[in-house]
């Protein structure tokens, strides 16, 4: 059975005090579970402190992005080894906002996936179609292509540890959610792509999240679906009660 994963993407929100309060509030309320894993992805300046606060508790820390090189003259960037040295365990790669505003491409996503694995970070690889692509029935083609390119030249042994987040761009931060059936259909197509590339065993192990306006009110139905193994959540992960409700719904 695949362990569910609920990850909160805080984007560029919260003060350091708000971030620390959140971590203090939730850490004692989460119990180690075989069923669900909880991850929060705060802004980069808060990673160290939140990793320290949550050490030994059933909540993991993820970064929202990283550079693909281990070190170098890349002013302003953060390397994968810097993240893992801080106690970070996950990293979101290729979020649609990174692709849209920071020129991330399938090629840079591929390099970052490789670098993440080499630094013992688990990548949460985001894929998803625009509204225009959905309306022209290109969703499966777009998403399968993104998955294929993200994992190019990686082995099945590494890919089975990755998390893939299916996030239709038109559903992010808009209040519009894909129906549970539609989300499941695309997550199924993603699993089929992984199977074609790496075989059924890897495809059965890889975890696929849905993301796009997930909240306590709609998560339960999404999680009843066979191919949805959790959620990547933006807005509804910012409030500690709402985040705890999401974890509870997945438990
Ligand atoms: C996200 O940022 O990955 C996301 C899914 O945001 P929201 O839940 O706010 O739509």
Catalytic residues: 95, 167
Say how many CA atoms lie within 13 Å of 91 toward its Cβ. 31
Range of the domain at 159: 4-250
167 lines ligand 1 (CB under 6 A): yes
What tens digit of pLDDT does each residue of 72-111 get?
Answer: 999 999 999 999 999 999 999 999 999 999 999 999 999 9
Q: Ligand 1 centroid to 216 CA: how many Å?
A: 13
CA dihedral 86, 87, 89, 94 (to 10 degrees): -20
Q: What is the per-residue pLDDT for 177?
A: 81
- Residue 147's alpha-carbon distances to 36, 109, 128, 134, 172, in angstroms, are 24, 10, 10, 17, 19
Q: Which two tokens stand for residue 118?
A: 């080499």
Q: Closest Cα to residue 54, out of 34, 26, 90?
A: 26
Judge whether 235 is annotated as a binding position.
yes
ipTM of the complex: 0.97
What tens digit of pLDDT does each residue of 33-83 get?
Answer: 889 999 999 999 999 999 999 999 999 999 999 999 999 999 999 999 999
96 lines ligand 1 (CB under 6 A): no
Angle between helical axes of 139-150 and 180-198 (0-180°, round to 10): 40
213 lines ligand 1 (CB under 6 A): yes
Residue pair 119/168 in contact (Cβ under 8 Å)? The answer is: no
Q: Ligand 1 centroid to 199 CA: how many Å?
A: 30
Q: What value does the mean pLDDT take over residues 184-194?
A: 97
Residue pair 116/66 in contact (Cβ under 8 Å)? The answer is: yes
Q: What value does the mean pLDDT take over residues 207-211?
A: 97
Domain of 125, CATH number, reads 3.20.20.70
Q: What is the per-residue pLDDT for 144?
A: 98
pTM of the model: 0.96
Number of domains forming the structure of the chain: 1
Residue pair 216/246 in contact (Cβ under 8 Å)? The answer is: yes
Atom index in ligand 1 nearest the CA of residue 172 equals 10
Q: What is the per-residue pLDDT for 188?
A: 98
80 lines ligand 1 (CB under 6 A): no
Q: Ligand 1 centroid to 184 CA: how many Å?
A: 17
Where is average pLDDT lowest: 56-70, 143-157, 233-247? 143-157
């Amino acid at each position: 059975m695949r362990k569910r994963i609920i990850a909160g993407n805080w984007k560029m929100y919260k003060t350091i005090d708000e971030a620390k309060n959140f971590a203090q509030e939730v850490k004692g309320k989460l119990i180690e579970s075989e069923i669900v894993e909880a991850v929060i992805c705060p802004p980069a300046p808060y990673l160290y402190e939140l990793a320290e606060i949550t050490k030994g508790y059933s909540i993991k820390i993820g970064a929202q992005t990283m550079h693909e090189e281990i070190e170098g003259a890349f002013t302003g960037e953060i390397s994968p080894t810097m993240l893992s040295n801080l106690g970070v365990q996950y990293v979101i790669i290729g979020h649609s906002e990174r692709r849209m505003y920071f020129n991330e491409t399938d090629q840079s996503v591929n390099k970052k996936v490789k670098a993440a694995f080499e630094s013992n970070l688990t990548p949460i690889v985001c894929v998803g179609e625009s509204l225009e692509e959905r309306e022209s029935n290109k969703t499966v083609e777009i998403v399968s292509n993104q998955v294929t390119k993200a994992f190019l030249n990686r082995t099945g042994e590494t890919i089975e540890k990755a998390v893939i987040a299916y996030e239709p761009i038109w559903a992010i931060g808009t209040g519009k959610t894909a129906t549970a059936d539609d989300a499941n259909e695309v997550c199924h197509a993603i699993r089929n792509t992984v199977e074609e590339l790496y075989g059924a065993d890897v495809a059965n192990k890889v975890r696929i999240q849905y993301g796009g306006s997930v909240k306590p009110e709609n998560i339960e139905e999404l999680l009843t679906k066979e191919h949805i193994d959790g959620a990547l959540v933006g807005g509804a992960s910012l409030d500690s009660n709402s985040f705890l409700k999401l974890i509870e719904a997945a438990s």
